[in-house]
Amino acid sequence: MTRALALAACWVVLGTTSFAQDVPAKRLDSWPQWRGPNADGVAPHGDPPLKWDQSTNVKWKVAIPGAGSGTPIVWDDKIFVLTAIDTGREDQATPTSAQEPTASPAQGQENRGGRGGGGRGRSGGGAPADPAPKTVHRFDILCLDRNTGDVVWQKTATEQTPHEGRHATNTFASASAVTDGRRLYASFGSRGIFCYDLDGTFKWKQDLGDMQTRRGFGEGSSPALYGDALVVNWDQEVGSFIACLDANTGEERWRKARDEVSTWATPFVIEHDGIVQVIANGANRTRSYNLATGDLEWECGGQARNPIASPVVRNGVVYCMTGFQGYALYAIPLAARGDVTDSDKILWRRTDAGPYVPSPLLYDDQLYFTKGDQAILCSMNAETGEPLYSPKRLGDLGTVYASPVGAAGRVYITDREGVTLVLEHGTEFRELAVNKIDETVNASPVIVGKELLLRGDKHLYCIAEE
């Protein structure tokens, strides 16, 4: 699912600023949220390897206990990973969560969780859902050393028995954490939202209740951070809402009801013309909320079902996409106000393609996205919506859940079988390399400097030139 998060750093693009303006530029060399420093899938300073396999250009490979499909995040030399570990213990009592979560064994853990290989919550195609488990799960946060893969610290945020099941390809830890370089914010959804400093010291927790997702398919939206505001989208079958928490204390600043059913998209937070907007995709409408008040700035109907893809923004325009049981792609100016559905305020729209599980990559002025979750790549001019080349079937790839990423003039697309196709970034389709690891991959790749991180269902790989 997630998606996780609209933050960004100290970047100004034609008058549009994303994320906190006082964050140092080193954020561009980190990956502080699930879609990277600018929340668009691009690593501006990245230059990862072109080729690798199980035994070539693997700097390190470490087992991750339990099961999780959330993309890792990186700050400087620390990598943060969320996971859910099935303890095998029958539930004898109500869920417990320590006032201060406890430390867990740092090393030597086997992969004891439920079925690995979850994607970010998806609920389509009549796919089966696993029933609610009857055993206690441990919800852990791991901090790894980026240079070695060694565990720096591991904390158990809570031990609970999940109240509902999950899609067969989802996990109970499908969201990504987010950091501002001072604190780490980790959402386990219905199990709670937890804050630590980067050394693993517990700060606060917040419980927003138990989410009821469509057919018990599970959760996946990641929180979005902007300055001292943490935004959480809580779309479910009944009683959906979006909430803004004080990032320092976890207390609610505001909560707004949403006329939506289950979605799994991560919000995008962006400042434009002095107003910070929270843009949340939805099956009924895409909506923009004022971060300070929660008031609605604009809304647009017309999306398809089961929104999972997160919005992306460039030059004062937001691009919202869906791709299940129909396709929708809208280019909406951030200056819009009110209900813009079917109005001339929409810059352009398309209904011939859109991503289902993966979020789009916005690289310079070029959009890259899959058609549904198929290995069919679409690329469009973000300004005009015109295709730059016809949809291309990626013959080396199968089903795609991971979102594409870009760096150093290259585009990296990873499928569920662990195959990564590397393309040249540009208006013509040119394949550069095909790489494979022997593991299911649903989490999106992460690019930091000359390294690429791939989270499989059992291991985390650090890909770097030998």
Angle at 193 between CA 192 and CA 196, to 5 degrees: 130
> Is residue 303 in a domain?
yes
Provide the pLDDT for residue 285.
94
pLDDT surpassing 50 at residue 258: yes
The average pLDDT across 285-301 equals 97
> Is residue 379 in a domain?
yes
Provide the pLDDT for residue 140.
98
DSSP 190: G
- The string of pLDDT tens digits covering residues 315-349 is 999 999 999 989 999 999 999 999 999 999 999 99
Which residues, other chains included, contact 461 with Cβ-Cβ below 8 Å and sequence gap of 6+?
A: 58, 60, 61, 437, 453, 454, 455
Provide the pLDDT for residue 127.
61
Spatial separation of the C-alpha atoms in residues 100 and 156, rounded to whole Å: 9
Provide the pLDDT for residue 100.
54
Mean pLDDT of the chain: 88
pLDDT surpassing 90 at residue 184: yes
Decide if 264 contacts 217 (C-beta within 8 A): no
The CATH number given to whatever domain includes residue 160 is 2.130.10.10
> Is residue 391 in a domain?
yes
Number of domains in the chain: 1
The average pLDDT across 236-261 equals 97
> Beta 338-339 vs 296-301: how paired, if at all?
parallel
Provide the pLDDT for residue 119.
34
> Is residue 325 in a domain?
yes
pLDDT surpassing 50 at residue 212: yes
> Is residue 422 in a domain?
yes
Q: Which amino acid is at 267?
A: P
- The string of pLDDT tens digits covering residues 58-70 is 999 999 999 999 9
Q: Which is it for the CA torsion 100, 230, 258, 382, positive or negative?
A: negative
Percent of the chain clearing pLDDT 90 (strictly above): 79
Q: Which domain holds residue 337?
A: 11-463
Q: pLDDT tier at 244 (50, 70, 90 boundaries)?
A: very high
Q: pLDDT tier at 168 (50, 70, 90 boundaries)?
A: confident
Q: pLDDT tier at 128 (50, 70, 90 boundaries)?
A: low
- The string of pLDDT tens digits covering residues 64-100 is 999 999 999 999 999 999 999 999 999 876 555 544 5
pLDDT surpassing 80 at residue 104: no
Decide if 77 contacts 37 (C-beta within 8 A): no
- The string of pLDDT tens digits covering residues 353-391 is 999 999 999 999 999 999 999 999 999 999 999 999 889
- The string of pLDDT tens digits covering residues 108-119 is 332 222 223 333
> Is residue 364 in a domain?
yes
The average pLDDT across 377-406 equals 95
